[in-house]
Chains A and B, each alone.
Chain A
Amino acid sequence: MKMGSRARSRMLLVGGMLATLTLVFAACSSGTSSTDKTSTAAAGGGGKTPAAGVTSAATSATGSAGAITIKKGDKIKIGISTTLTTDNAQLGIPIQDAALLAIKTKGTIKGFAIEGDSQDDQCAGPASVTAANKLIADGVVAVVGPMCSGGAVAALDPYSKANMLVVSASATNPSVTAQGKKDFFRTAWNDATQGAEMAKYAYTTLSKKNVVLVNDQSTYGKGLMDVFKASFTGLGGKVAGEEAVTVGEKDFSPIVTKIKSANPDMVVFGGFIAEGAVLVRQLKEAGVTAAFMGADGIADQKFIDQAGGAAEGAYVSRGPKPTDTKLYDAFAAAYKAAYGKDAGQFTEQSSDATNIILMAIDKVATVDGSGNLIIDRQKLIDAVKTTSYAGASGQIDFDAKGDRKVVGAVNEIDQVKNGKLTRIQ
């Protein structure tokens, strides 16, 4: 396996250039992804559609806005848009794995094998749009994702132009469904409820009257803190300061210093594991004794592990686990058996999102005379709209906006006790 230095350097060079090109394409493609509405439904599958003008050679399905045709012997492709690189991959990869597990468990639909097509959306707008365009070009039937709210807000436009069914397991910001896209659904809960519930719990149950809010400048983190602030001040609480961390940074000393002099009862954080774990640790080291509260972006054992003991006593809000945990336990056991790891945050929602998509395909897909599978995109979206599914994350029904209808508890509050997330409400 010895490679000449020149060959290798050339390889690296090409890699670097490709990376640059990807960035350039990400910037360009968002503007040029307008999909031609002319439908080539059931045209035998051979013709290239304008929607997928850059269809790769491996693509077998025609990705038109009207219907998708999968030729006999080809596979049904399910797109997965999640974060596979950067620190947030620690949440994103399990989301992908859960979706792949659901696909593998289902196996086939009407004799057609199913396969996952996962693309890195980097928890950010531009990469999520790139992932969207790639998945559309790949001719996927539906998409699980995008992982993050910022990515979803940006990518829903190309998806809806392609009439693509999209179900996200983890994009929680209110603005995602407020766009009114008819093809988008989520198995995550809307942050409009989560933020309000967090504020209520902090003010009423924990009697915290004076807080500092810290967000990670993402659509999710900033949005959640905005909802929290509105609810908390509405209840009569005081927000002593609002700070923001830069994703990827590890030294939060100036923020910690400012929090210390603001002297709040509680620090509330909207963001993900990597920043949350470092923040909670540096706060403790600086001698800040205020309570710490985070949300679903850190509701994972990895947050506790990476906080190195400093997370003890922290409050964590998340979507509610169903009271009957039978289905969740079955999913967690299957996940553990498949990957040897505990099912983390958002995995059950990802599994449910995938299953909802697969059920809908099963319902609307028909086999034509020559043995090809025809899936009408609009019928697929309509099928999901009327879904009533008892999943690992609880009962799922969608409202008119594509949000999950709240059943039972609106929210769950956990506390870190003895190094484990323990439900306290």
Chain B
Amino acid sequence: MQEWIQLLIDGVTIGGVYAVIALGYTLVYGVLRMINFAHGELFMMGAFTGFYTLTAFENNTSLNDSAPVLTIAVAIMMGMVVAVVLALVMERVAYRPLRRAPRLAPLISAIGVSILLRNIMLRVTNAQGKVYPKVFPRTALQIGEVRVLYVQIFLLVLSLLFLVLLYLFIQRTKAGVAIRAVAEDRDTASLMGINVDRTIMTTFAVGAALAGAAGVVYGMFVTTATSGMGFIPGIKAFTAAVLGGIGSVPGAMAGGYLLGITEALSTKFFGAQYKDVVAFVLLVAVLIFRPWGIFGKREDKRA
């Protein structure tokens, strides 16, 4: 029983990461009908920014000891800023010129950006993983045999907080309305006086900020940063977004948690080497019965 609870906690932790990254995929898909395959690399860049920021703080011990909360907050902010800047450059350079091109062109451009960023970091780090400084006490909450690291609680709280904030942003703010309008119909939105370019940039920025923050927190959780670390979470988050219904914000959230928890619990039956198989079988199973995902809208009526 305790092992089940422990696996559930493991699943919720990684599920939260998937959910936050999946939001970026789903937002961009919503407005552009395009999968940004370089999204996982924004997550990776966030993790590296977090590493460099926290290392700089670690060397400044007085600040690190007196205000650990502040250093963590600054690291997360830095991760977000770097990811946002990169995403805006990426959008301007690699995607905007291809906006009217066939759908496959920006997709391939995204794969190119992904390879580029990964290999830049490979060069910078000399292929060696970076070890995160210890910012969280590595002790854990012990309930019977079940252990929960403080960073896991932090990760869970933060991911839920981001989801709520994003929901409010999309539903309650003017920029959010603009994003929804562009997602609905780009040309009509433009005729209604919405600046489509700016709205698309906002969408990229919001998705990137989430990925960057997730990268820093994930880095603190797994205490490592490597150039290839964005790839698997990126693919999994993409799966989560499709599972939940791509284009849907609650769908990305639900898909992320569902995927993370299913993966973790499945290891009890099949061993960890089959958890990717389980994840994709789940995806196929859902798509057979609901091709538009759990929360997605049917697209068959769209021209």
Interface contact B112-A254, CB-CB below 8 Å: no
Which B residues touch A106, using CB under 8 A?
none
Interface contact A305-B267, CB-CB below 8 Å: no
- B85-110 interface bits toward A, Cβ cutoff 8 Å, 1 = contact, 0 = none: 00000001111111000000100111
Interface contact A90-B14, CB-CB below 8 Å: no
Which listed residue (A20, A245, A286) contacts B147, Cβ 8 A?
Answer: A286
Which A250-284 residues sit within 8 Å CB-CB of chain B?
250-255, 257-258, 260-261, 273-274, 277-278, 281-282
Chain B residue at minimal CB-CB distance from A285: B138
Known contacts A6-B97, A308-B131, A250 near B226 by CB under 8 Å: yes
Which B residues touch A245, using CB under 8 A?
272-273
Which A residues touch B95, using CB under 8 A?
9
Interface contact A87-B98, CB-CB below 8 Å: no
Chain A residue at minimal CB-CB distance from B133: A308
How far is A87 from B272 in the complex, measured between Cα atoms in Å? 21
Interface contact A250-B3, CB-CB below 8 Å: no
Residue B32 CB within 8 A of the other chain: no
Interface contact B223-A89, CB-CB below 8 Å: no
- B192-234 interface bits toward A, Cβ cutoff 8 Å, 1 = contact, 0 = none: 0000000000000000000000000010011110111101100
Chain A residue at minimal CB-CB distance from B267: A254
- Counting chain A residues whose Cβ lies within 8 A of the other chain, the interface size class is 35 or more
Interface contact B97-A258, CB-CB below 8 Å: no
- A30-67 interface bits toward B, Cβ cutoff 8 Å, 1 = contact, 0 = none: 00000000000000000000000000000000000000
Known contacts A278-B224, A306-B224, A308-B223, A257 near B128 by CB under 8 Å: no
Residue B39 CB within 8 A of the other chain: no
How far is A380 from B229 in the complex, measured between Cα atoms in Å? 43
Which A residues touch B110, using CB under 8 A?
16
How far is A185 from B126 in the complex, measured between Cα atoms in Å? 29
Residue B263 CB within 8 A of the other chain: yes
Residue A325 CB within 8 A of the other chain: no
Interface contact A217-B222, CB-CB below 8 Å: no
How far is A20 from B109 in the complex, measured between Cα atoms in Å? 11
Known contacts A87-B127, A248-B231, A302-B128, A253 near B10 by CB under 8 Å: yes
Nearest Cβ on chain B to A127's Cβ, whole angstroms = 14
Chain A residue at minimal CB-CB distance from B10: A253
- Chain A contact residues: over half helix, strand or loop, or mixed? helix
Residue B153 CB within 8 A of the other chain: no
Known: A246-B276, A257-B267. 7 other contacts (CB 8 A): A87-B129, A92-B127, A244-B273, A254-B10, A254-B11, A254-B267, A278-B224
Residue A418 CB within 8 A of the other chain: no
Which A residues touch B140, using CB under 8 A?
285, 287
* 30 residue pairs A–B, Cβ–Cβ below 8 Å: A5-B92, A6-B97, A9-B94, A12-B113, A15-B115, A16-B109, A20-B111, A85-B119, A85-B122, A85-B127, A87-B226, A243-B272, A243-B273, A244-B271, A246-B275, A251-B17, A251-B221, A251-B222, A252-B272, A253-B14, A254-B267, A255-B267, A258-B3, A273-B129, A274-B226, A277-B224, A281-B223, A287-B140, A305-B131, A308-B132
Interface contact B223-A246, CB-CB below 8 Å: no
Residue B264 CB within 8 A of the other chain: yes
Nearest Cβ on chain A to B90's Cβ, whole angstroms = 9
- Chain B contact residues: over half helix, strand or loop, or mixed? helix
How far is A158 from B232 in the complex, measured between Cα atoms in Å? 31
Which B residues touch A285, using CB under 8 A?
138, 140, 149
Total interface residues on B, using CB and 8 Å? 57
How far is A307 from B130 in the complex, measured between Cα atoms in Å? 10
Interface contact A257-B3, CB-CB below 8 Å: yes
Which B residues touch A302, using CB under 8 A?
128
Interface contact A253-B264, CB-CB below 8 Å: yes
Known contacts A246-B273, A306-B128, A12 near B116 by CB under 8 Å: yes
How far is A277 from B128 in the complex, measured between Cα atoms in Å? 11
Residue B6 CB within 8 A of the other chain: yes
Which B residues touch A12, using CB under 8 A?
93-94, 109, 112-113, 116
Which B residues touch A255, using CB under 8 A?
267, 272
Which B residues touch A8, using CB under 8 A?
93
Which B residues touch A274, using CB under 8 A?
129, 226
Interface contact A251-B97, CB-CB below 8 Å: no
Which B135-149 residues sit within 8 Å CB-CB of chain A?
138, 140, 147, 149
How far is A131 from B107 in the complex, measured between Cα atoms in Å? 27
Which B residues touch A249, using CB under 8 A?
232
Which listed residue (A13, A217, A248) contacts B109, Cβ 8 A?
Answer: A13
How far is A287 from B146 in the complex, measured between Cα atoms in Å? 11
Residue A206 CB within 8 A of the other chain: no
Nearest Cβ on chain B to A269's Cβ, whole angstroms = 13
Interface contact A257-B232, CB-CB below 8 Å: no
Pairs of residues from A and B, 3 with the lowest C-beta to C-beta distance, nearest first: A16-B112, A244-B273, A89-B127
- B266-290 interface bits toward A, Cβ cutoff 8 Å, 1 = contact, 0 = none: 0110011101100000000000000
Residue B7 CB within 8 A of the other chain: yes
